[in-house]
Amino acid sequence: MTSGITVTDLSVRIGSATILDQVSLRAEPGQVTGLIGPNGAGKSTLLAALAGDLVPTSGRVALDGVDPVRTPAKQLSRHRAVMLQDTHVAFAFLVRDVVEMGRRPWAGTHRARGDDTLVDAALAATGVSGLAGRDIMTLSGGERARVALSRVLVQQAPVVLLDEPTAAMDIRHQEQSLGLLRYLAAAGAAVVVVLHDLNAAAAYCDRIVCLSEGRVAAAGEVGEVYTEEILSGVYRWPIQVLKGPGGLRQVAPARGGGEGCLNGQVNLLLGGVRSGNSREVLALRQG
């Protein structure tokens, strides 16, 4: 079993900007750890540092017992699989070829036996078997994301890192894909996933790390992080936290907040509508 991920006092600075500031966290094997937080909080930067794709300014990452920055690429790919936000492929590969790339870390080892069977299983798991012979560049964004997830699955790495994997998917495939992450964790993998959908994170993650302005604002089980005080403060927006069926946490952001955005510049764009008529404008926009 993997030893998971341990991050200690990790900082990333680019020029004069501090992107991550003294971040520490633990992602356990057998669990799905969700990274949440507003835009610019440092989630994607943190995931890149975990993957070894970004050298931190200071601090330490231990991923499945290795330092991802100092580990050769092929060896590292046996420890972790990564799905990035951008699933665009620049060349006209067939879908099956893209998924087969996930088996390359094991080429020449005893684990290379049965590669074709594993690729078939990965294609089927995400529902893209029927696309296997298609040019990857002809697929929709959601279809490409499912192909990328198939590649991650077939890699069979003990640590799995995903950056907004379901952002382009419809609701059916979102739920199916997040369910696959639960299966990976149940099999012993340490899964870390960046999610903007707070309700999905609450439903599928065992633990949550909430980032704000490059720091850990809160970390723990869903119930510990999902409080109105924490979420409203981090997102700078009124958020109500409810208990759904089975005690599952659900969030409900305040609606109708567009009124406060109707400043002079926006009034110009809306044809000079006066702020006194903002409710009328809002009704038109929502209708």
Domain boundaries, the chain: 5-255, 256-287
The residues, ordered by sequence, that sit 6+ positions from 140 with a Cβ below 8 Å of its Cβ are 168
**3-class DSSP state of 124:** helix
* Host H or E run for residue 161: strand 159-163
162 in Cβ contact with 191 (< 8 Å): yes
In tens digits, what is the pLDDT along the chain, a chain of 287 residues?
679 999 999 999 999 999 999 999 999 999 999 999 999 999 999 999 999 999 999 999 999 999 999 999 999 999 999 999 888 877 889 999 999 999 999 999 999 989 999 999 999 999 999 999 999 999 999 999 999 999 999 999 999 999 999 999 999 999 999 999 999 999 999 999 999 999 999 999 999 999 999 999 999 999 999 999 999 999 999 999 999 888 899 999 998 765 555 566 777 777 755 555 555 545 545 55
230 in Cβ contact with 217 (< 8 Å): yes
152 in Cβ contact with 166 (< 8 Å): no
CA dist 241 and 228 (Å) reads: 6
Residue 26 neighbours by CB distance under 10 Å: 16
- Measure CA of the first residue to CA of the last residue in the chain; give whole Å: 53
Tell how far CA 107 is from the center of its chain. 28
User: Which structure tokens are listed for 140?
Assistant: 């929709």
Residue 185 neighbours by CB distance under 10 Å: 21
The residues, ordered by sequence, that sit 6+ positions from 234 with a Cβ below 8 Å of its Cβ are 37, 38, 41, 210, 212, 217, 218
Q: Which of 82, 222, 99 is nearest to 163 (CA)?
A: 82
User: Which structure tokens are listed for 10?
Assistant: 């990790």
CATH number belonging to domain 5-255: 3.40.50.300
20 in Cβ contact with 42 (< 8 Å): yes
Residue 236 neighbours by CB distance under 10 Å: 9
Could you tell me the pTM of the whole model?
Answer: 0.91
